Amino acid sequence: MAAVEDDAAPDTLRAMVYADAGMFSDGVLQSIIANRVVVMNRGQVYMDDTPDHVFAREEDLRKIGLGVPVMTRLVSLLNRECFDLPMGAYTVDKVFGAIRKKLGGGGDAS
């Protein structure tokens, strides 16, 4: 995994690059502040998008041997059973906000 810095804002993390088979385990925290995630598969760019859009593609990530964040798995399970939550929700705050919104309590996790 390598971070790519934006020329306009050198102190800002711009992208996380995940190469071939691996896990997103330590990338979740970093992707919260990244505005772009690049996933490599067999030396080729497989995905290049926002963290929300990349993590929403759980099946595609699993096909190339990558794990997904725990919250992505939770949303997937909840959607199979009773909800229609956005698959891009990959943090506790995003999942909590999405559930509250579905239950009529607003989307703010605070």
For residues 6-20, give the mean pLDDT.
Answer: 45
Helix (H, G, I), strand (E, B) or coil at 30: helix
Alpha helices in the chain (DSSP H): 27-33, 51-55, 58-63, 70-81, 92-102
Express as a percent the part of the chain with pLDDT over 90.
Answer: 11
Is the model's pLDDT at 93 over the cut of 50? yes
Question: Which pTM value belongs to this model?
Answer: 0.64
- What dihedral angle (degrees, nearest 10) is formed by the CA atoms of 34, 108, 103, 32? 10
Express as a percent the part of the chain with pLDDT over 70.
Answer: 65
Domain ranges of the chain: 2-102
Looking up tokens 């102190």, which residue turns up? 11
User: What are 41's strand-pairing partners?
Assistant: 44
